C-alpha cells in the first residue's frame, strides 16, 4: 500500500532447495491419513499407456472417490441412526447427542474396513473431519431430517390412538392443546417440511374435528372462526 515501509523478503539459500534434484511429481508437506491405492494407480497408468479416453479415466477416478466417500460416511450414518429413540418411546426432539468418543469406539465393529480395503489412520481422519466445518454442516442437516422424521412418527402414533377414549379424562386445556399442535403439524406437512402419509393427514383432520366437537360452543367458535 502507498506509504507503507518496504518489507524485507527473505530468500532461501540455494543449498536448502532440494526440489531441483527431486524426481518429477507432486510434493506437499501435508501428511495423508490413508495409504495410496496402488491398484488404482496401476489402473490409471495402464489407461495412459493404452491412450484410454480422458472421460473414461475420469470415470474410473470418480468411481473410486465415490466408493471411498461412501465407506467413510456409512459408519457415520449408522451411528446417527442409533441416536433415534426407540419406537415405543417416540417423542419429538428426543434425539440422543452425538458423542465422538462413542462413535470412534463403534468403528471397531462397524468401521470403514468393512467396505474398503484401503489401510490407514481412519481414526485420525474422522477426528480431523469433526474439527472441520463440513462435519458441522453435515450434522446439522442430518439432525434436522431426524427431527422431522420423529415429528412425523409422533403424529402417526397420535393418529393411531382412539381419540374418544383419550379425551375421556382430559381437560379442555389439554384438548385445545392437541388441536393446536395437530394443526401446526398439518401446516408443516402441507409445506413439505414433514414426510407425512396422506392417510395420516386425513386422520389428523378427522381428529381435529372430533376434538373440537367435544368442546363447549364458545371454544368451538374460537377454534373454528367463520
* Burial track 4-36 (b if 16+ CB lie within 10 A, e otherwise): eeeeeeeeeeeeeeeeeeeeeeeeeeeeeebee
Question: Left, alpha or beta for 192 (phi > 0: left; psi -120 to 50: alpha)?
Answer: left
The last residue of a domain, from among 121, 146, 171: 146
| Residue where a domain stops, chosen among 111, 146, 181 | 146
Residues 167 and 84 in one domain: no
Q: Give 48-98 pLDDT, tens digit per residue.
A: 898 889 999 999 999 999 999 999 999 999 999 988 877 655 565 678 899
- Whole-number Å distance between alpha carbons of 194 and 198: 12
Specify whether 169 is located in the same domain as 214.
yes
Same domain as 202, residue 134: no
87 inside domain: yes
Answer whether 0.95 is exceeded by the pTM. no
Q: Is residue 38 part of a domain?
A: yes
Q: Is 86 contained in some domain? A: yes
Residue 215 predicted with pLDDT over 50: yes
In tens, the pLDDT along 121-171 reads 999 999 999 999 999 999 999 998 888 888 888 778 777 778 888 888 888
In a shared domain, residues 43 and 109:
yes
- Specify if 16 maps to a domain: no
203 within some domain: yes
Total number of domains constituting the chain: 2
Query: Distance (Å, rounded) from C-alpha 57 to C-alpha 38?
Result: 16
153 φψ region: left (φ > 0), alpha (ψ -120 to 50), beta (else): alpha
What gap in Å lies between CA 147 and CA 187, rounded to an integer? 16
More confident residue, 38 or 224: 38
Q: Are residues 170 and 123 in the same domain?
A: no
Residue 11 pLDDT more than 50? no
Which residues form the domain of 168?
A: 161-226
**Residue 137 and residue 165 share a domain:** no
Q: Does 30 have pLDDT greater than 90?
A: no
Do the domain assignments include residue 155?
Answer: no
Q: Does 22 reside within a domain?
A: no
Q: Is residue 23 part of a domain?
A: no
Amino acid at each position: 500500500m502507498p506509504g507503507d515501509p518496504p518489507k524485507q523478503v527473505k530468500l532461501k539459500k540455494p543449498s536448502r532447495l532440494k526440489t531441483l534434484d527431486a524426481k518429477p511429481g507432486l510434493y506437499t508437506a501435508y501428511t495423508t491419513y490413508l495409504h495410496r491405492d496402488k491398484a488404482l494407480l496401476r489402473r490409471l497408468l495402464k489407461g495412459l499407456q493404452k491412450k484410454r479416453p480422458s472421460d473414461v479415466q475420469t470415470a474410473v477416478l470418480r468411481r473410486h472417490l465415490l466408493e471411498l466417500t461412501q465407506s467413510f460416511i456409512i459408519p457415520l450414518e449408522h451411528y446417527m441412526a442409533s441416536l433415534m429413540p426407540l419406537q415405543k418411546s417416540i417423542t419429538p426432539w428426543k434425539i440422543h447427542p452425538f458423542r465422538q468418543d462413542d462413535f470412534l469406539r463403534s468403528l471397531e465393529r462397524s468401521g470403514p474396513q468393512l467396505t474398503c480395503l484401503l489401510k490407514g489412520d481412519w481414526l485420525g481422519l474422522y477426528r480431523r473431519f469433526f474439527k472441520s466445518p463440513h462435519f458441522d454442516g453435515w450434522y446439522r442437516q442430518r439432525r434436522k431430517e431426524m427431527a422431522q422424521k420423529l415429528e412425523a412418527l409422533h403424529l402417526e402414533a397420535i393418529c393411531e390412538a382412539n381419540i374418544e377414549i383419550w379425551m375421556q379424562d382430559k381437560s379442555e386445556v389439554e384438548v385445545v392443546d392437541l388441536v393446536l399442535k395437530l394443526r401446526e403439524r398439518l401446516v408443516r406437512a402441507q409445506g413439505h417440511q414433514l414426510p407425512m402419509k396422506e392417510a395420516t393427514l386425513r386422520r389428523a383432520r378427522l381428529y381435529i374435528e372430533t376434538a373440537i366437537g367435544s368442546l363447549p360452543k364458545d371454544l368451538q367458535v374460537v377454534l373454528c372462526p367463520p
